[in-house]
Amino acid sequence: MNTQQDNDIQSANRFSRAIGWLWHLLGSVKLAFILILIIAAVSLIGAFLIQVPLETARDPQAYAAWVQNVATAKVGGSASLLYHLQLFNVSGSLWFLCPGVLLMLNILICSLNRWNSIQRALRGGAVKQQDSFFTGGSADARKEITSVPLSQTEAAQLLETALRRRHYRVRVEADSENTYIAADKNRYFRLGTFVSHLSLILFVLAFVFGGLMGWRNTDFEVNEGATADVGHDTNLSLRLDSFVAEYYADGVTPKDYRSQVTLYDNGQEVKEALVRVNYPLSYQGVSFYQSSFGATLIIQMQVSQIDTSTTLYEGGVTLKSMGSGYYVGNLDLPDQNYTVYVIGSTNAMDPMIPAESVYADVVGGDGSEVYDLVQKGIPISINGLEFTYSDDSTSQYSVFQVSRDPTNMLIWIASGLFILGISLFFYFPRRQVWGLSQRQGEGNSRLLIRTIAPHNFSNTSEIEALTKDFGKDSPVQRR
Amino acid sequence: MAGLENLFLWLSLAGIVVTIILAIMEFLARRKAMLALAKKEPASPPQTAAAGRNSLGIAGDALTILTILFISLTLVFRGILAGHGPFSDMYEFALAFAWGIVVMGAIFQWRYKTAAVKNAGFIIALLLLIFAIVEHTSPPPLVPALQQSTLLSVHVASGVVAYGTLTIGFGAAILFLIQNRRNSLWLPDKEVLDKISYQAVVIGFPFLTLLIVLGALWADIAWGKYWSWDPKETASLVTWLLYAAYLHARVMRGWRGRRAAILLIVSFAAILLTFFGNYIFTGLHTYNG
Ligand code: HEM
């Protein structure tokens, strides 16, 4: 019975000791240091090694195809290994996420542990300190002024004045022989690192939840004059009223491109706007960013098979240009035996592809490939097919990135808090000064000063400035 | 404007080169004087480098101020020519970076009463200026994403302060490692160097953070995505993490001095990696920007 109880107590002890140890580990700066270095090292791999686009990474099949085609071309045979090690998607890999989660836990526990010491800092230490406190510490953190030709209260008052001039908060306590002074400044800025560390957690939460709750369409295309549905969880649709692209004198570098749009919610017009790069349109948390643009050429075409004289296709063929100088499109024929690429020029003066003509490139099922120029109104046979080009029309289209990121604002708030917190902490370091003015006979006293500066900050300049200030108002001898 | 820009660009280079030459001459003169003194009075306490400045040192200070003026004017005339702040190409970045180093070097010299760290920084500034001269072209046309002058100017300005101070921190770390082995009399005390390197990070780190946040803000406005893990962004994250690690190392026991200095040198290498990322990552990635 007794031993049973003993065992229980023992195991409970062991358990609480293990918890204590774990808590200590998870709150330690050393762990933070190691985790930060691990995350840095893993990120570095992500900077050097080709990374899969995030959209592709979400779709296992697309990802596999990407590894096959894109990654293998870059890194060769090791692609498969690197894929299994998750190194093509470092930011989503366990190498990154595990230390990341641990670091957040680390910050949380560390902040909790530090709360007491911060509260103590806010209160300030005891005013009365032992004599030994004033003679301890490093030499640059203390000062002794003997034989001040003033009473101990007057000497203390001088020190108080000097401290107040330097914006210290001063507390005084006295007995018949001694006057004690405790002063500090910037104590609230001690909260700076606290705020910064917690804002990192806020940042990471906003980052994660923004990704989970939001959505993004990187390729929302609208033709000029047309209206397209935004989809996702919205009833929004966007009409592209007009589109303009301007170029610099070199004719290649875009100078400006802008879309005049109208936004509809449930079919009701809610907004008209000019969307340009750097000037997105936002409506109820959904934002439209100008991303790219292009032109469309629609060719009315008839294609028939020569040997059977059957019509394989009749109608519009859509060719697109995205700034390369050429319209490109392909023609899906019901007969799987043919693949037809159609190429037109955006430049009416093009020597290769004159106006009102396109190239058709016909790849037959047997692998034969023949191409030729198809001119408007002149039927031509290419690789067993006959092409008739009857009419054409051109239009512009604009591509938007559309996204909803409900935590976007939080990201900026957290970032701002982080910078504010460390700036206050670093640029306005908390300083503490203690003074002890001791009576040494009639009208004479001894003054002891001791300062404490934060880690790695120097005491020297502060204590020098203080004693200089002190001397300003009194004829004191210094030793 | 282009002519004036060019003139001051070369004057800046000359200013930096002559400042470095003067620093070397001062160093040699001081060394000689001290060796002579040691021979005459072997028992006398050695003078430290901080004690007294000779005329070479004063000329070096004057030239430092002149160099700041020259680089400033280069930036001003470039700005007038381009019509915006220095944010459109590597030439402009390098010029601004060099400006940051030289200015921060002067400030640290004034604050810590030693020119050694500034002179170390000048060597980096010299390399950057040579790079700038090689890369020098007329202002490129601004693609629409770059037509966000206010935000980008503040972005580059915080980069200038951050990189400038952190380069001084790097210089101090290098000198610390030298001092740690030889304890030369003509270099500052290693404790001073340790302190300078830490202070540089204290000043630089908030600006480094601001630099990255403003970059993300710009990406958000221009492309609708504040972070896309492109190599240059990732490299900037690595840099930031390394400096954060350094700051924590300083809170831990046994991490002042040599180990901290080595970490600081590695962190500075990450800055260079980020800065020259456009060149380094192109071979590996389809990198645009
Ligand atoms: C990426 C994550 C982190 C960042 C960016 C960060 C940032 C900072 C910064 C800028 C400082 C000020 C440096 C100084 O006092 O010299 C600091 C201090 C500190 N950090 Fe962190 N920190 C991170 C994670 C952590 C974690 C996980 C812990 C918990 C162990 C921690 C504990 C501390 C402590 C104890 C200080 C000293 C604060 C003081 O002296 O009042 N940090 N941190």
Domain chopping of chain A, boundaries: 2-117, 124-186+429-478, 200-294+399-420, 295-395
- Per-residue pLDDT of B19-33, as tens digits, reads 999 999 988 888 888
Q: Is residue B57 part of a domain?
A: no
CB contact under 8 A, A458 and B237: no
Q: Please answer whether residues A111 and A198 qualify as being in contact, where contact means their C-beta atoms are separated by less than 8 angstroms.
A: yes
Report whether pLDDT(A417) > 90: yes
The reported pTM is 0.89
State yes or no: pLDDT of B286 exceeds 70: no
Å between B268 CA and nearest CA of chain A:
14
Question: Does pLDDT of B156 surpass 90?
Answer: yes
The Cα A279–Cα A215 span in angstroms is: 20
Evaluate whether residue B40 is within a structural domain: no
Say yes or no: B229 contacts chain A, CB-CB below 8 A. Answer: yes
A40 closest CB neighbour out of B216, B227, B238: B238
Residue B38 has pLDDT above 80, yes or no: no
CB contact under 8 A, B229 and A291: no
Question: With pLDDT > 70 as the criterion, what percentage of chain A qualifies?
Answer: 96
CB B84, CB B149: distance < 8 Å: yes
| Minimum Cα–Cα distance from B249: chain A residue | A33
Task: Judge whether B35 lies within some domain.
Answer: no
Q: Is pLDDT of A475 > 70?
A: no
B 104-163 residues inside an 8 A Cβ radius of A: 141-145, 147-148
Q: Could you give the strand order of the β-sheet that contains A178-185, starting from the edge strand earlier in sequence? A: A142-148, A445-452, A431-439, A178-185, A169-174
Cβ-based contacts of A114 with chain B (< 8 Å): none
Q: Report residue B49's pLDDT band, with 50, 70 and 90 as the boundaries.
A: very low
- Chain A: nearest CA to B117, how far in angstroms? 18
Q: Does B209 touch chain A (CB under 8 A)?
A: yes
How long, in residues, is chain A? Answer: 479
Q: Which of A39-48, B140-149, B220-229, B268-277 has the lowest mean pLDDT?
A: B140-149
Beta carbons within 8 Å of B13's beta carbon, 6+ residues apart = B126, B129, B130, B133
Does residue B136 lie within any of the structural domains?
yes
* Ligand 1 pocket: which of A38, A103, A107, A108 to mutate (most atoms within 8 A of CB): A107
Specify the pLDDT at position B223.
86
- Looking at residue B66, what is its pLDDT? 96
Q: What is the pLDDT of residue A362?
A: 87
Give residue A180's pLDDT. Answer: 94
pLDDT for B275 equals: 95
Structural domain includes residue B244: yes
Least Cα distance to B174 among B107, B123, B99, B222 occurs for B123
Asked whether the beta carbons of residue B141 and residue A289 sit closer than 8 angstroms, the reply is no
The CATH T-level fold of domain A124-186+429-478 is TATA-Binding Protein (3.30.310)
| pLDDT surpasses 50 at A450 | yes
Question: Which chain A residues are within 8 Å of B284, Cβ to Cβ?
Answer: 48-50, 74
**Nearest Cα residue to atom 7 of ligand 1:** B244
Smallest CA-to-CA distance from A68 within A58, A82, A54, A47 is with: A82
**Ligand 1 centre distance from Cα of residue A197 (Å):** 7
CA distance A173 to A424: 30
Q: Are B263 and B166 in contact (CB under 8 A)?
A: no
Q: From the CA of B200, how far away is ligand 1's center (Å)?
A: 17
Q: Across the interface, do B206 and A91 touch by the CB < 8 Å criterion? A: no
pLDDT exceeds cutoff 90 at A3:
no
Residue scoring higher pLDDT (A336 or A18):
A18
B8-17: string of b/e by CB count within 10 Å (b at 16+)?
A: bbebbbebbb
State the maximum Cα–Cα separation within chain A, in Å, rounded to a whole number: 128
Q: What is the pLDDT of residue A471?
A: 66
| B281 to chain A: closest CA residue | A48
Ligand 1 site, CB within 6 A: A 27-29, 32, 36, 103, 106-107, 110, 193, 196-197, 200, 422, 455; B 205, 244, 247-248, 250-251
Q: Pocket of ligand 1, candidates A193, A203, A420, A457: which has the most ligand atoms within 8 Å of its Cβ, to mutate?
A: A193
Model confidence at B282, pLDDT cuts 50, 70, 90, reads low
Task: Kindly state the average pLDDT of the residues A145-159.
Answer: 87
Provide the domain limits for residue B208.
86-279
pLDDT more than 90, % of chain A? 41
pLDDT tier at A274, thresholds 50, 70, 90: very high
- Yes or no, beta carbons of B195 and A458 under 8 Å apart: yes
Per-residue pLDDT averaged across A218-225, rounded?
90
- Taking an 8 Å cut-off on Cβ atoms, the answer to whether B242 and A40 are in contact is yes
Averaged pLDDT score across all residues of chain B:
89
Contact A287, A402 (CB under 8 A): yes
A193 Cα to the center of ligand 1, angstroms: 7
**β-strands A227-229, A215-223: how paired?**
unpaired
pLDDT value of residue B51 = 46
- Most confident segment among A133-137, B46-50, B63-67: B63-67
| B226-277 pLDDT per residue, tens | 998 989 999 999 999 999 999 999 988 878 889 999 999 999 999 999 999 9
* pLDDT, averaged across chain A: 88
Whether the predicted pLDDT of A478 surpasses 50: no
Residues of chain A in contact with residue B232, where contact means CB-CB under 8 angstroms, are 47
How close is the nearest chain B Cα to the Cα of A33, in Å? 5
- Residue B284's pLDDT is what? 42
Tell me what pLDDT residue A479 has.
37
pLDDT for residue B184: 79
Question: CA A268, CA A252: separation in Å to the nearest integer?
Answer: 39
Query: Which one has a higher pLDDT value, A331 or A172?
Result: A172
pLDDT in tens, A175-191: 888 999 999 999 889 89
